[in-house]
Amino acid sequence: MNVFRLTGDLSHLAAIIILLLKIWKSRSCAGISGKSQILFAIVFTTRYLDLLTSFISIYNTSMKVIYIGCAYATVYLIYMKFRATYDGNHDSFRVEFLVVPVGGLAVLVNHDFSFLEILWTFSIYLESVAILPQLFMISKTGEAETITTHYLFCLGLYRALYLLNWIWRFYFESFFDMIAIVAGVVQTVLYCDFFYLYITKVLKGKKLSLPA
């Protein structure tokens, strides 16, 4: 555990909580892509199946349980409790174009051809692109609520901090995981355009809106 890994995890946790609170307090999931949230629920489920087979630490186990619980709670709020506010017409990204290639890649490129390992690999690849339906929705509507941009910033920052964590671990622990690193770079790059808008607009008190 190093400072980048810990702040990365906390940033990830903050993102998840911000989104849950936003939906809960406003009683609305307007502007939120339910498809991205389903993908994240799949990501956590397929990655954390090792909860049943291996114990790493209290920290590790509790964070996994919290992430999974929050992911399903978010999906429940969007598709059940506040379904009437869900903007399905604008959430039109075709997720099969992500899930199918990512599934194929996980079978072809992995550390070990075993059931749990392929699911772990699938979750790493899927996470790297799971935000695309949300970004697609924002580009379609041309705007995002400020609280939604805080969520996206924390979510993007988390993987960027993990990149620093992997650099740290490479130098000080001789540890590296090429699958996680490559997917993590892809994931972080996808946020770069958003980071630019967040810093130049949202942090200066303006609403995030895209030119028509």
Partner 1 sequence: ADEAAAHDEL
* Nearest by Cα to 36 from 199, 152, 146: 152
> Contact between 65 and partner 1 (CB under 8 A)?
no
- The binder of partner 1 chosen from 24, 30, 51, 64 (CB under 8 A): 64
- Alpha carbons 194 and 132: distance in angstroms, whole number: 12
Tell me the backbone φ, ψ of residue 143, rounded to 5 degrees: -155, 165
Single-letter amino acid code for the residue at 125 = Y
Question: Considering the complex, what minimum distance in angstroms separates the CB of residue 63 from partner 1?
Answer: 6
Q: Which of residues 14-53 bind partner 1 (CB under 8 A)?
A: 47, 50
Q: Which of residues 75-134 bind partner 1 (CB under 8 A)?
A: 111, 120
- Alpha carbons 53 and 55: distance in angstroms, whole number: 7
- Alpha carbons 173 and 50: distance in angstroms, whole number: 23
Identity of the residue, 114 or 139, whose beta carbon is nearer to partner 1 in the bound complex: 114
* 135-164 footprint of partner 1 as x/- string (CB under 8 A): ---------------------------x--
Question: Considering the complex, what minimum distance in angstroms separates the CB of residue 9 from partner 1?
Answer: 6
- Alpha carbons 144 and 207: distance in angstroms, whole number: 7
- Alpha carbons 69 and 61: distance in angstroms, whole number: 12
* Size of interface with partner 1, in residues (CB under 8 A): 23
Q: Which stretch binds partner 1 (CB under 8 A): 20-28, 55-63, 75-83, 140-148?
A: 55-63
Single-letter amino acid code for the residue at 24 = W
Binding site residues, partner 1, CB under 8 A: 5, 9, 12, 47, 50, 54, 56, 60, 63-64, 67, 111, 120, 162, 165, 170, 174-180
